[in-house]
């Protein structure tokens, strides 16, 4: 019973990490920068939804507006902070994203304060009995919204012209430029997509963990670990990495100690960087000579 509950909880948490990791991978492949402000987009979604609900807005309206707010913040970050510095080195761009992350946390502290904000669960009620395990209803919501989002991403990348253009930019920016695809607009779209995914994560986790100005720091870092597990260049790899990380973290916290919950993610990152620097899923590459 305990193993089943831990596995289902791990799937829910893994889905969250997978969405964050997909944002990392998309932004990295199009813009050539690891966006360490990704976790703050989660925070924007969470605190915006909680603040709107506390102000009297219906839950679903607040959730939609929170995702829109996170997406707009992502667009502003790309346009105002990264686009002007696009010709600088990767190190400079990474430092910019770290600065943006700090600035967004400070701004959220000024606007919303340090007190945790509450967001009602999207699926209220008693835990559901499943295979003799008691599973919170919000976990089913997280698993469901993750599945729906992944399906929407598949349709977007595989069935739409805009998604195909973004996928081409992720595969090879220079070749896609020669094919008439604008790197400028694809860079903006990648940030908007990554921020949108983070906003969805924010509204999904806030009913469980509450919304605070610094809630995105740790979840962003774990999303980065999931992206590294998947190789940092593969969306399927990011999804697999997120699920693996979530399950291992849940099992470790439940069977060993919850005090090791955060340490497990970074221990896995260390192991992968030392023994499998290309990630768990290796992609084929070629070189013309």
Range of the domain at 99: 20-214
Does a structural domain hold residue 184? yes
Please give the pLDDT value at position 101. Answer: 94
Q: Any idea what DSSP says for residue 210? A: -
Quick one: residue 113, left, alpha or beta (phi over 0 = left, psi -120 to 50 = alpha)?
Answer: left
Q: What angle do CA 132, 133, 137 make, to 5 degrees?
A: 130
Residue 159 maps to a domain: yes
Tally Cβ neighbours within 10 Å of residue 6.
19
Query: Does residue 225 sit within a domain?
Result: no
Say if residue 80 is exposed, middle or buried (CB neighbours under 10 Å; 0-12, 13-18, 19+).
exposed
User: Are the C-beta atoms of residues 174 and 32 closer than 8 Å to each other?
Assistant: no
How many domains is the chain built from?
1
Q: What is the pLDDT along the chain (289 residues), one digit of tens a residue?
A: 678 888 888 888 999 999 999 999 999 988 888 999 999 999 999 999 999 999 999 999 999 999 999 999 999 999 999 988 888 888 899 999 999 999 999 999 999 888 999 999 888 778 887 777 777 888 888 989 999 999 999 999 988 999 889 988 888 777 888 788 888 899 999 999 999 999 999 999 999 888 999 999 899 999 999 999 888 888 888 999 999 999 988 888 877 777 777 788 888 888 887 887 777 765 544 333 3
- Look at residue 219 and tell me if it is in a domain: no
Closest of 201, 197, 143, 199 to residue 12, by C-alpha: 143
| 264 part of a folded domain | no
In a domain, 166, yes or no: yes
Tokens of 110: 């000024």
Q: What tens digit of pLDDT does each residue of 105-162 get? A: 999 999 988 899 999 988 877 888 777 777 788 888 898 999 999 999 999 998 899 9
Helices (H), ranges, 113-215: 137-159, 161-171, 173-178, 183-209
- pTM value is 0.90
Check residue 281 and give its pLDDT: 67
Considering the domain boundaries, does residue 177 fall inside one? yes
Give domain status of residue 282, yes or no: no
């Amino acid at each position: 019973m305990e193993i089943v509950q831990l596995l289902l909880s791990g799937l829910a948490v893994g889905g969250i990490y997978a969405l964050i990791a997909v944002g990392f991978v998309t932004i990295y492949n199009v813009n050539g920068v690891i966006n360490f402000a990704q976790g703050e987009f989660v925070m924007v979604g969470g605190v915006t939804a909680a603040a709107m609900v506390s102000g009297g807005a219906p839950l679903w309206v607040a959730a939609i507006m929170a995702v829109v707010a996170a997406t707009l913040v992502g667009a502003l970050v790309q346009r105002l902070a990264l686009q002007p510095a696009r010709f600088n080195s990767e190190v400079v761009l990474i430092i910019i994203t770290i600065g943006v992350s700090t600035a967004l946390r400070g701004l959220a502290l000024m606007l919303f304060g340090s007190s945790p904000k509450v967001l009602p669960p999207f699926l209220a009620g008693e835990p559901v009995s499943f295979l003799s395990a008691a599973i919170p209803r919000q976990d089913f919501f997280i698993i469901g919204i993750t599945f729906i989002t992944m399906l929407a991403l598949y349709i977007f990348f595989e069935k739409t012209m805009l998604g195909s253009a973004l996928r081409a930019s992720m595969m090879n920016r220079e070749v896609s430029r020669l094919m008439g695809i604008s790197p400028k607009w694809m860079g903006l779209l990648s940030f908007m997509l990554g921020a949108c995914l983070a906003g969805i994560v924010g509204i999904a986790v806030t009913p469980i963990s509450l919304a605070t100005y610094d809630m995105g720091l740790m979840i962003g870092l774990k999303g980065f670990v999931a992206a590294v597990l998947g190789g940092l260049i593969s969306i399927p790899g990011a999804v697999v990495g997120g699920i693996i990380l979530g399950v291992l973290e849940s099992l470790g916290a439940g069977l060993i100690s919850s005090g090791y919950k955060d340490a497990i993610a970074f221990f896995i990152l260390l192991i992968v960087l030392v023994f499998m620097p290309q990630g768990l899923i290796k992609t084929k590459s070629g070189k013309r000579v």
